[in-house]
Structure 1
């Protein structure tokens, strides 16, 4: 690999992320869904705890997609899309599944965006904490 090439997010990396989020969720007594997308927005791994609310699958995927497309944790975007915020029309401006709720985090390697993880099923703050724990486990 050349110095400017960064290894992509692999299926093994995605499984590490999902298992770390799941383990953190189990330790917290939480049931969640976890989605990991590659840099192109394609799903690598998806896991929904069979006890998690059904909508958590959709929210985890949309959170991951939003974090990937905007290259920022979804928790950092919540205020920007509120009425009067600088991007208040963004949630409805695109025909894409963006979701501005905490729980989505970009995944980077050597400072470069290689994918994203989204967690859904608990409170936004809990989802964000689980996603953060997963990203830390990959580092």
Structure 2
């Protein structure tokens, strides 16, 4: 479903959004198994971004939810308390990961890291918009 070409366009959209808002980010797209399909890092972006961008995308696929929505669910006493300490520390519970849905199934995700959690989420949604546009064009054929 998410080809290398599509994933490259998705990460580019995330990078373009980051440039527009003045953020320096890394952007990643993973497939439905959480495997990296495409990655880009802006010049001078933070050193943690490459790991966090991929892990945000992985988390979105694994839990079929935006990572920003996990913050409240992982607080002490909440339903998913402790999630962030599992999976070898790979689960990220702050903004920047968004799942890609197709026909009721998560088929991939976009992860962005380097800006604020809100900026990362906005950039990831720019990548998601490319995926949604692809689906719309595909269904119109």
User: What TM-score comes out, normalization by structure 2 length?
Assistant: 0.88
Q: Does 1:60 align with 2:56?
A: no
Distance 1:138 1:38 in 2: 12
Aligned to 2:128: 135
| Secondary structure class of the residue paired with 2:54 | helix
| Secondary structure class of the residue paired with 1:95 | helix
Counting only pairs closer than 5 Å after superposition, residues 3-42 of structure 1 correspond to structure 2 as 8-42=1-35
Distance 2:72 2:40 in 1: 29
| Secondary structure class of the residue paired with 1:77 | helix
Q: Does 1:70 align with 2:63?
A: yes
Higher helix share: 2
RMSD of Structure 2 on Structure 1 (CA): 1.2
Which residue of 73, 84, 89 maps to 2:82? 89
User: What TM-score comes out, normalization by structure 1 length?
Assistant: 0.89
Distance 2:104 2:86 in 1: 29
Give unpaired runs (5+ residues) of structure 1.
Answer: 1-7
**Displacement, 1:96?**
5.4
Runs of 4 or more consecutive aligned structure 1 residues displaced over 6 Å after TM superposition: none
Contact 2:29 2:36 in 1 (8 A): yes
**Displacement, 1:111?**
3.3
Distance 2:109 2:50 in 1: 15
Give unpaired runs (5+ residues) of structure 2.
Answer: 133-141
Distance 1:84 1:42 in 2: 31
